[in-house]
Amino acid sequence: MGEGVISIKKAVPIVVVTWILSLVSTLALVYVAPSVFPQWVNRGYNGVVAEKRMDEALMYTKLADGGVGSAKILDGTLTVTDLFDGSVLALKFTDGVGTTAKIGNGVVQGVQVGGTATITASWPNGSVISRQLWDGAVIGIDLTTGSLVAGMVLDGAITTAKIADGAVVTAKLADGSVTSAKIVDGQVMAVDLANGSVISAKIADGAVTTTKIADGAVTEAKIAAGAVTSTKVADSAIVTTKLADGSVTSGKILDGTITGLDLADNAVVTTKIVDGAVTTTKIANGAVATIKLADGAVTSLKILDGTITAADLGTGSVTNIKIADGAISTTKIADGAVTSAKIADGAVVTLKLADGSVTSAKILDGTITAADLASGSVTTTKIADGAVTSSKLADGAVTNIKLADGAIPFAWRESVEPVEKYFDPEWSIMPADGGGPFDVYIYLPQASQLIIMLHAQAFVARYASDQLVVQASVDGVWASPGNQILVSNTIMEGTFAEWLSTSAIWTYFASAGTHRVYMEWRMFYGNSWAYVAVRSLCVFALP
């Protein structure tokens, strides 16, 4: 919609013009016939059958419905009184005949304005007033740029919803219009404050904390007399550099708090010492030299009992009765002066010994007993290698967990192939699987007692008196107790025995090193034969 054109929904409709035209057309047929018809009419026209009539003879009742056409009405002769109420319809108006003067004040309602009807800028200024507009009818595109001036807006008409976000800039705010209530708490930042704008009256009491004060910002000029009380100063906050020279007077120092560390060397001169203030405890031992003493000043009463040194005494002047119990301290004894002869037997008790002063050399060999040792004091490093003999071990003390892996030397072998011995009374090495010797090798880190065990399944056939005898040999030497019967035949001739499970054990003391242990066997009489099936040889050593 261009400038100067306004939607008919918001202005005066053209409907009234159409209504007037409809009214004129309708009334023309009813009221104007007597004044426009000639004194006679053609036969058959619109139902009038008389060939002629007098001017006054043609009455309203003589006209048929629709009998008066537009041509029968004299131009400009229809008046308001000739029109029937409601007879002028919209279609009776020609375009443009409904001028402002033809429309009564206040007669155009909102529903009478067409949806797309428009009027132009020919409307006089001020012709549309507030009550003639629908609420919300004026939208942004209806207003021309700059058309809405201050005088057209009612006071209070511009609410928050009418203002676009960010539309209120600094220039739109009146001086002093932004009060505290208008500012969101915590939104005034340092950049919002002008330099020097935060004066004393603007700061709440107690609001300036330590973190708010820049280092070195509090100068003397910033502190009012008496303003900084004790409660305002953090503990230890006032260091030496913060104090002006001479600012700490006697009244500022807490009584009794000046220690020796606070005084400079030679700071306490004679005039600073109150008469009689230097008591005995104030004088360091040995500080009063001869030169400090006036002649004759040291009388017998001035000498502390027992303070006379050897140099002060004549030879042999200090007898036993002159020495008080406990009077001879370490510092009183010259180095090396106390010999063994000077110490009474039993005089040196535990309390007299310094920690760590009793070394191994001071302890008489063989005098440390179990009672002298604290629980747990004998650690591994304190025990000499080989010192723990069998007699030192309590019965049952050496459990499996105490034995290191491989601590007990061990060798083992098993064969499953059956072997047989026929009528042979001579010793030979029992064969293993595959025909090799049934033997094992064992390494001994030290001289040890070998325990040799044989377990086998065997039987002897034919003669009841025959036996299978076995013997353990170590490097060709028989172990003790010598040969042993592994199995005997206990059945009659011509029958077979079942397999018997049997065992034998030997011992042999061997030196350190690697040893071969093997089994030998023979038939005792050589009149029968023997069979050995599954067999195992186990050898282990005990120190």
Last residue of one domain, picked from the residues 355, 370, 401: 355
Structure tokens belonging to residue 357? 């002063």
- Do residues 343 and 417 share a domain? no
How confident is the model over 441-498, as pLDDT tens digits?
Answer: 999 999 999 999 999 998 877 655 678 899 999 999 999 999 998 887 655 454 555 6
Cα 267 to Cα 246, 260, 262, 270, 271: the distances in Å are 16, 10, 10, 10, 11
The dihedral through the CA atoms of 338, 340, 342, 348 has a sign that is positive
Last residue of one domain, picked from the residues 147, 172, 188: 147
Residue at 332 is within a domain: yes
Q: Indicate the number of domains in the chain.
A: 3
- Do residues 331 and 462 share a domain? no
Residue at 185 is within a domain: no
- Do residues 264 and 343 share a domain? yes
In angstroms, rounded to a whole number, what is the distance separating the alpha carbons of residues 68 and 27? 10
- Do residues 10 and 143 share a domain? yes
* SS3 of 449-486: EEEEEEEEEEEEECCCCCEEEEEEEECCEECECCCEEE
* Residues lower than pLDDT 50 in the chain: 6, 8, 11-12, 33, 39-60, 118, 120, 122, 492, 494
In angstroms, rounded to a whole number, what is the distance separating the alpha carbons of residues 202 and 204? 7
Residue at 450 is within a domain: yes
Note the pLDDT of residue 414: 97
SS3 339: coil
Note the pLDDT of residue 476: 96
Structure tokens belonging to residue 438? 């049934």
- Do residues 441 and 506 share a domain? yes
In angstroms, rounded to a whole number, what is the distance separating the alpha carbons of residues 497 and 533? 14
- Do residues 423 and 346 share a domain? no
In angstroms, rounded to a whole number, what is the distance separating the alpha carbons of residues 468 and 223? 121
- Do residues 414 and 510 share a domain? yes
In angstroms, rounded to a whole number, what is the distance separating the alpha carbons of residues 4 and 2? 6
Residue at 239 is within a domain: no
Residue 390 — φ and ψ, nearest 5°?
-60, -40
SS3 259: coil
Residue at 119 is within a domain: yes
In angstroms, rounded to a whole number, what is the distance separating the alpha carbons of residues 167 and 142? 21
- Do residues 531 and 459 share a domain? yes
| Closest by Cα among 423, 416, 420, 453 to 534 | 416
| Closest by Cα among 514, 522, 532 to 440 | 514
- Do residues 427 and 317 share a domain? no
Using only the alpha carbons of the chain, give its radius of gyration.
Answer: 72
DSSP 441: E
Last residue of one domain, picked from the residues 322, 337, 355: 355
Residue identified by tokens 């459990």 is 399
Structure tokens belonging to residue 307? 């303070």
Note the pLDDT of residue 73: 77
The dihedral through the CA atoms of 65, 71, 72, 77 has a sign that is positive
Residue at 270 is within a domain: yes
In angstroms, rounded to a whole number, what is the distance separating the alpha carbons of residues 127 and 99? 14
Residue at 349 is within a domain: yes
How confident is the model over 210-251, as pLDDT tens digits?
Answer: 888 888 888 777 877 777 777 878 888 888 888 888 888 888
CATH code of the domain covering residue 451: 2.60.120.760
- Do residues 322 and 433 share a domain? no
Residue identified by tokens 């072997």 is 419
Residue at 99 is within a domain: yes
Structure tokens belonging to residue 32? 């104007």
- Do residues 348 and 414 share a domain? no
SS3 86: coil
In angstroms, rounded to a whole number, what is the distance separating the alpha carbons of residues 483 and 469? 6
H or E element in which residue 22 lies = helix 15-31
Structural domain that includes position 20? 6-32+73-147
Would you say 31 and 111 are in contact if contact means Cβ atoms under 8 Å apart? no
- Do residues 19 and 125 share a domain? yes
